[in-house]
Amino acid sequence: MANLGIDVLFKGTNFLRLLQGLWVSVEISLVSVAISILLGLVVGVLMTFNKLWLKAILKIYLEIVRIMPQMVLLFIVYFGTTRVFGWDITAEAAAIFVFSFWGVAEMGDLVRGSIKSIPKIQFESAYALGMDKKQTYFYIILPQTIRRLIPLSINLITRMIKTTSLVMMIGIVEVLKVAQQIIEANRKASPNAAFGVFAVVFLLYFIVCWPISRLAVYLEKRWA
């Protein structure tokens, strides 16, 4: 009971390595979130258009993302497509692709919801003033939508960071993998290291995600 293996973290550069591992996850999620927000805005606007074929395609896309676990998508891209098409992609690229694929659909749906929540009169007034469709969206609808969207997209960031812990499964060395390596390396010297190290990883994720989700709650209350 005396030794819970926290001391392992202070040996050499272990703690620094854990933080670097965490940064790998955060980096992948930040890149994916950036892509998701940009493309998500476009997809979300497309979702509100009244074209049947467009609606059908986007609906199928959304449903695929909703139903398939991200881990399955990761496997399909990293192991499946490389096999079928014979190309060579790094695990990081596969991860960013999958998380963006997922994020764009989620973000698109959020954008669609926010646009739908804007009263119809805003569109009608803009048209009555002689604006065309592009101008209406650009100057009237999107500015209002974005304000409602910001808390929701911040939430997406925390979800993204939490989901990126899966990339360990396709061989990316992130915080959990580093944790396992540290535990393995100290198996003899400190058999209880698993407790200390995994507790710290647990805490690290919490420290990263908690402030972000508090911010989202705060903004949602303030801007709702």
Write out the residues near another protein by the rule CB under 8 A: 1, 4-5, 63, 66-72, 75-76, 79-80, 83-84, 158, 162-163, 165-166, 168-169, 176, 179, 183, 191-192, 194-195, 197-199, 201-202, 205-206, 209-210, 213
From the CB of 131, what's the least distance to another protein, in Å?
A: 31
Comparison of 59 and 133: residue with beta carbon closer to another protein? 59
From the CB of 53, what's the least distance to another protein, in Å?
A: 20
From the CB of 6, what's the least distance to another protein, in Å?
A: 12
Q: For 139, which DSSP code?
A: I
Residue 151 to residue 223: CA distance in whole angstroms: 9
Q: How many residues are recorded in the chain?
A: 224
Element holding 32 (H helix, E strand): helix 14-47
From the CB of 81, what's the least distance to another protein, in Å?
A: 10
Comparison of 114 and 155: residue with beta carbon closer to another protein? 155
Comparison of 31 and 169: residue with beta carbon closer to another protein? 169
Q: Hey, what are 136's tokens?
A: 């209406």
In 145-191 the beta strands, taken as DSSP E runs, fall at none
Comparison of 146 and 215: residue with beta carbon closer to another protein? 215
Residue 221 to residue 223: CA distance in whole angstroms: 6
Residue among 82, 86, 85, 103 at smallest CA distance from 28: 103
